[in-house]
């Protein structure tokens, strides 16, 4: 608005200056004509100066009036100086001279109007472009604010789901294991068939809980927009050479249920160098792409084909998922990577799939390309840098399996999570569970108490996990090294910053035996290392 006011002021100023110049030109010409008339000199063409000035500054219409006024104005001014008007008017060159003056004025007036129209058109276009840019910026800001709001909501939802999902999934696993043990050890009787049916139901329930976990994981991945350096640090535990052909085969197995009979599958997998990354996350990308391709070609559309290609170009590995489905319009293509955008029916897709795929690809230092035309099919290309053998070890040293009982303190304000963790870890390990951070601090700061592992929830109402860790570190730094942090996804700025420095010791909810095994192996390895150091220093 300020810019428009300034421009308007400048235009008004230029107009006023033009009028002043025209007025001065006519006054000076009048004075000159009066002076010449007093000396008996006609000088009839002198009015060309104010006529041209009028034409240039005031335009075509004013130039016509100035041209018409030129002759009588000259005669009048000369008469004021004492020159006889009749002698001036009957001078042979007078009429032609003033006609020429009027013609020149009209040319200047036309040029002035043309220049003014060009300036106005340029200004109009510039203003239109500025308005379009401003509208786009406002729309982008609105989308950003909306996504930020949705992201915050998604983080909270993920946190609230992950807590109960921990004890749902954990107890389902425990129940399934107990039932398997009963089935194996007990005698075969009339209830065997019923027990098998219960076992099948438990397996399906676990599969459903795992699907919920995957959806929440996608939400959390979207909320956690990756910073390139942080993301790579966060993935460092899984930054090993990955055989992309093997990942593609695994993804194909996971997505087989979506490949209906009317679809044919073709694989063209060349030998390629390994890539650097996380095999699980890359498999998630391929599963999403394969499922999307299959869902784009429903049975009523007729036979369809999906092709998986793997090739290498220079120092890049390219994996392609190709379908001969309906393709995408330009409008759809422009939105396809936006989070929560989907063309699928309600209940079929979350709209996070491709946004998550693109996010994972960026985490791996690659890019996800889309080549599609409406009616001609779609190609998604995952382009990743090949692993650098000089900077990346060919194998990863795994922590030893857990041998013997570990002393573990569990700190979580959710009763269900605490009970489930205790059941998952007992009786193999000695567990002390606390829901009150203050009570847990009293134990952790007691020099007579020691633990091999502390599983600490990050977000608790009384004290956050990073605050508990800070108090323990101030008193017993050796115990603070044994903290592993559990998070459901909802973090504030302080805990986010803290977690970025402790990514190696982070476990995401929902907690399962597999996710806990990483921390348990680390604790056993750390205990063995401390024992070895103690023997060497003795």
CATH number, position 491: 3.40.50.2300
**236 within domain boundaries:** no
Distances (CA, A) of 82 to 36, 87, 88: 9, 11, 11
Range(s) of the domain holding residue 210: 159-230
Per-residue pLDDT for 170 more than 60?
yes
Band the pLDDT of 172: cuts 50, 70, 90.
Answer: confident
Say if residue 370 is in the same domain as residue 501. no
* Whether the Cβ atoms of residue 491 and residue 223 lie closer than 8 Å to each other: no
Taking the model in full, what pTM does it have? Answer: 0.46
398 located within any domain: no
- The pLDDT, as a whole number, for residue 407 is 94
Q: Which tokens go with 302?
A: 């007729």
Helix (H) or strand (E) run with residue 309 in it: strand 304-313
211, 247: one domain: no
- Confidence check: pLDDT of 353 > 70: no
Which CATH number fits the domain that encloses residue 266? 3.30.565.10
Cα(162)–Cα(417) distance, integer angstroms: 10
* The two three-digit tokens of residue 498, written as one number: 């803290």
- Kindly state whether residue 202 falls inside one of the protein's structural domains: yes
Boundary residue ending a domain (230, 254, 281):
230
pLDDT of 490 higher than 70: no
Chain centroid to Cα 518, Å, comes to: 31
Average pLDDT of the chain to the nearest whole number: 78
Cα–Cα distance, 323 to 296 (Å, whole number): 9
7 and 135 co-located in one domain: yes
**pLDDT at residue 12 above 80?**
no
Could you give the angle at the alpha carbon of 443 between the alpha carbons of 442 and 444, nearest 5°? 95
pLDDT value of position 403: 56
Residues 413 and 358 in one domain: no
Q: Does residue 259 sit in the same domain as residue 381?
A: yes
Q: Which of 223-237, 297-311, 327-341 has the highest mean pLDDT?
A: 297-311
For 361-412, what is each residue's pLDDT tens digit? 888 899 999 898 888 889 999 999 998 753 444 333 333 344 568 999 999 9
In this predicted structure, what is the pLDDT of residue 227? Answer: 41
| CA 357 – CA 117 distance, rounded (Å) | 52
In terms of domains, do 196 and 263 share one? no
pLDDT of residue 474: 94
Nearest Cα residue to 193 out of 205, 203, 202, 183: 183
Asked whether residue 395 is assigned to any structural domain, the reply reads no
- Are residues 258 and 209 both part of a single domain? no
Final residue belonging to a domain, choices 176, 198, 230: 230
Q: Do 362 and 251 share a structural domain? A: yes
For the chain, the domain total comes to: 4
Average pLDDT over residues 290-301: 83
Q: Are residues 72 and 163 in the same domain?
A: no
Please check whether residues 167 and 134 belong to one and the same domain.
no
Of 385, 417, 452, the position where a domain reaches its end is: 385
Tell me, yes or no, whether 184 and 121 share the same domain.
Answer: no
Average pLDDT for 497-510: 78
Which of 24-38, 183-197, 501-515 comes out lowest in average pLDDT?
A: 183-197
Return the SS3 of 483: strand
148 within some domain: no
Residue 390 forms part of a structural domain: no
In this predicted model, which residue has the larger pLDDT, 350 or 193? Answer: 193
Query: Does 494 lie in the same domain as 459?
Result: yes
Please indicate, yes or no, if residue 298 is contained in any of the structural domains.
Answer: yes
Q: For residue 346, is pLDDT > 50?
A: no
SS3 assignment for 99-116: HHHHHHHHHHHHHHHHHH
Sign for the CA dihedral angle at 431, 491, 216, 317 comes to negative
Establish if 430 belongs to a structural domain. yes
């Amino acid at each position: 608005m300020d810019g428009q006011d300034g421009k308007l002021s400048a235009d008004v100023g230029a107009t006023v200056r033009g009028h002043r110049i025209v007025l001065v030109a006519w006054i000076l010409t009048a004075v000159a004509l009066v002076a010449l008339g007093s000396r008996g000199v006609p000088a009839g063409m002198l009015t060309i100066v104010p006529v041209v000035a009028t034409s240039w500054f005031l335009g075509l219409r004013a130039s016509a009036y100035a041209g018409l006024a030129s002759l009588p104005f000259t005669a009048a001014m000369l008469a004021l100086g004492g020159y006889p008007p009749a002698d001036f008017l009957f001078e042979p060159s007078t009429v032609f001279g003033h006609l020429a003056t009027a013609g020149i004025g009209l040319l200047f007036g036309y040029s002035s109007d043309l220049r003014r129209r060009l300036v106005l058109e340029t200004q109009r276009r510039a203003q239109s472009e500025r308005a379009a840019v401003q509208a786009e910026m406002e729309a982008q800001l609105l989308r950003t604010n909306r996504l930020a709001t949705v992201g915050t909501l998604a983080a909270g939802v993920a946190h609230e789901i992950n807590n109960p999902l921990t004890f749902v999934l954990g107890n389902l696993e425990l129940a399934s294991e107990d039932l398997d043990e009963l089935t194996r050890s007990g005698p075969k009787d009339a209830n065997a068939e019923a027990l098998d049916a219960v076992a099948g139901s438990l397996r399906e329930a676990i599969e459903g809980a795992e699907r919920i976990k995957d959806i929440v994981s996608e939400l959390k991945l979207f909320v956690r927009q990756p910073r390139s350096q942080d993301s790579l640090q966060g993935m460092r535990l899984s930054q090993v050479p990955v055989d992309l052909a093997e990942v593609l085969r695994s993804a194909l197995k996971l997505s087989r249920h979506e490949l209906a009979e009317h679809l044919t599958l073709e694989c063209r997998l060349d030998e390629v160098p390994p890539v650097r990354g996380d095999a699980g996350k890359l498999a998630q990308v391929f599963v999403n792409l394969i499922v999307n391709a299959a869902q784009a070609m429903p049975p009523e559309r007729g036979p369809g084909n999906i092709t998986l290609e793997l090739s290498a170009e220079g120092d890049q590995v390219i994996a392609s998922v190709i379908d001969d489905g309906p393709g995408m319009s330009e409008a759809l293509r422009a939105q396809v990577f936006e989070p929560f955008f989907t063309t699928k029916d309600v209940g079929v897709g979350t709209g996070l799939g491709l946004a998550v795929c693109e996010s994972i690809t960026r985490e791996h230092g690659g890019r996800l390309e889309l080549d599609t035309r409406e009616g001609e099919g779609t190609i998604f290309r995952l382009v990743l840098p090949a692993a650098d053998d000089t900077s990346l070890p060919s194998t990863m040293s795994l922590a030893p399996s857990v041998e013997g009982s570990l002393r573990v303190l569990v700190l979580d304000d959710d009763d269900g999570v605490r009970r489930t963790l205790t059941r998952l870890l007992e009786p193999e390990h000695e567990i002390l569970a606390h829901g009150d951070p203050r009570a847990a601090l009293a134990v952790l700061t007691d020099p007579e108490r020691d633990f091999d592992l502390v599983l600490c929830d990050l977000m608790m109402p009384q004290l956050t996990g990073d605050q508990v860790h800070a108090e323990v570190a101030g008193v017993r730094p050796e115990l603070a090294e044994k903290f592993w942090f559990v998070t459901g996804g909802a973090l504030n700025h302080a805990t986010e910053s803290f977690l970025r420095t402790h990514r190696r010791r982070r476990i995401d909810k929902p907690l399962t035996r597999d996710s806990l095994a990483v921390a348990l192996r680390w604790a056993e390895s750390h205990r063995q290392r401390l024992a070895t150091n103690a023997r060497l220093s003795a």
